[in-house]
Amino acid sequence: MTEHHDIELVIRSHIPLILMESHEELRVVEMLRQIAVKLRKPVFKWSITQGLQRIDRNYAPQKHNAEPTDVLRHIKAVNEPGVYILTDFHPYLSEPVHVRLLKDIAISYDDVGHTVVLVSHEIQIPPELTKFSARTQLALPSKDQLESLVRNVARDWSQENPGNTVKTDAKTLDMLVNNLAGLTLRDAKRLARNAIYDDGAITQNDIPKTTKAKYELLSQDGVLNFEYDTAQFSDVGGFSRLKSWLKERKDVFHGKKDMKHLDTPKGVMLLGVQGCGKSLAAKAVAGTWGVPLLRLDFGTLYNKFHGETERNLRESLKTAEAMAPCVLWIDEIEKGVGTSNTDGGTSHRVLGTLLTWMSEKKTAVFLVATANDIESLPPELVRKGRLDEIFFVDLPTDEVRASIFAIHLKNRDLDPKSYDVLQLSEATNGFSGAEIEQAVVSAYYSAHAQNVGLAMAHILNEIKQTRPLSIVMAEKIAYLKNWAADRTVPCD
């Protein structure tokens, strides 16, 4: 296997200290055992609970070498080269004596040839050992491996239920396998088992459940949010050009075979007036394309400790790639990457991390960034090439306002034909979509308080009492429109 070959090359490269971060300890240890046997080297595994044990032969654990200091002194004293797997050794790397012993082992590599492999979920190596070490990763399972895993789970179910076979079809099976991508074999097996053992079948209903469970496994830091309510564009008034643009690229994003020569869509920025549906449109992209929607919350991303904010961002982007195909929505992006000289350079480093990822990502993660304040956005982000297009979301036109009224009336089980939506549209010139919705909501409350049905008079009365943002912040909106006139594409 490729992962065996890659790690074997690292061992053959005479690197004395190898760092492997993984939650699949058993899989890592077995792989290293096979490699060591192939290289004709004895292989040992150590843990604080079991001590040191030779695992290429059925030897009993050496309990007297259970303490970290004792096992390192033992390795240093052995003259025959071997591979030593130290599991969960990371808490002991803060002890100076352990650091010195590891350095002694590394320095004597040319004379003895010991390879020490640290295996843990996370490893922070002291600076003294950096020059003697190399990091390597356990590759995630391929699509073929995942399909084989699902078939094995299905076979197990059939053996436990004689005379029955797991029911599915090729398309649904392929969707389940694709949804398991980015998971370890252990986690993928767990989700496959959940899907199959529930009813002895793999159905379309299993796909969203698997997607949700996968997200919960991958994102446990609270920085990324899984959005369950992804609207369809039928619930969004206007955005005719954006709808057409997305429709043209849907098949390419999903990797249709006859369109492989076209570049996968990168993403868009929705810039515009507050309350005009940018966030709703971001949700609708995921709903229309039928993929998960992840929202990156810059408020929880930032951390007071140096370097933690950038690490949070890298982990979030890694999770998004594992969830691919998906839509990654960054709301009010200017608040997270706006250039600032008062935060110790954190915003600049966050911007650099994000731009690098945007340029280098290979997975089907479609970025939707929404912004209200163009002056706070760095020029590196808005230039062509970073994103596919910048759309400007303006105040809705007469026709769009009428459709927004119809949508909100219908959402409240009211027949739009019973109301003069054209008159309501004329009365709300300069209103945003959010202000139109609030007028309907407030009017509905008024009608309810009077114990009568919602009438035109209620809505018109609420409209008269509303001072829209287009009047309150007329100068700022005029500046935004002027800036966007020849720099962006109108959504309508």
The DSSP line for 162-175 is TT---B--HHHHHH
Domain at 2-136, CATH from 3.30.300.30, 3.30.300.10, 3.30.70.60, 3.40.50.300? 3.40.50.300
Closest CA to 12 of 115, 119, 87: 115
pLDDT at 108: 94
Query: Given this chain, do its domains 143-218 and 233-393 carry the same CATH topology?
Result: no
Rounded CA-CA distance 57/422 in Å is 83
Q: Who wins on pLDDT, 179 or 125?
A: 125
The model's pLDDT over 344-360, given as tens digits with 9 standing for 90+, comes to 567 778 888 888 888 88
At residue 340 the predicted structure's pLDDT band, cuts being 50, 70 and 90, is low
Query: Which secondary-structure segment (H or E) carries 87?
Result: strand 83-87
pLDDT at 441: 92
Decide if pLDDT at 373 tops 80.
no
- How high does pLDDT run on average in the chain? 85
Rounded CA-CA distance 456/443 in Å is 9
Q: Spelled out in words, what is the top-level CATH class assigned to the domain 233-393?
A: alpha beta
Q: H helices of 112-182, where? A: 143-160, 170-180
Neighbour tally for 356: CB within 10 Å: 12
The model's pLDDT over 389-437, given as tens digits with 9 standing for 90+, comes to 888 888 888 888 898 899 889 888 889 899 999 999 999 998 888 899 9
At residue 29 the predicted structure's pLDDT band, cuts being 50, 70 and 90, is very high
CATH number for the domain whose boundaries are 398-472: 1.10.8.60
At residue 474 the predicted structure's pLDDT band, cuts being 50, 70 and 90, is confident
Decide if pLDDT at 232 tops 80.
no
Contacting residues for 400 by C-beta, under 8 A, at least 6 apart: 237, 238, 492
Ordered by start, the domain boundaries in the chain are 2-136, 143-218, 233-393, 398-472
Residue count (the chain): 492
The mean pLDDT of 449-472, rounded to a whole number, is 90
pLDDT at 41: 93
At residue 286 the predicted structure's pLDDT band, cuts being 50, 70 and 90, is confident
268 DSSP β-pair partners: 368, 389
Cα–Cα distances (Å) from 463 to 395, 413, 425, 441, in that order, read 16, 21, 10, 11
The model's pLDDT over 59-108, given as tens digits with 9 standing for 90+, comes to 888 888 899 999 999 999 999 999 999 999 999 999 999 999 999 999 99
143-218 under CATH 1.10.8, yes or no: yes
The mean pLDDT of 238-260, rounded to a whole number, is 82
The mean pLDDT of 18-44, rounded to a whole number, is 91
The mean pLDDT of 292-309, rounded to a whole number, is 70
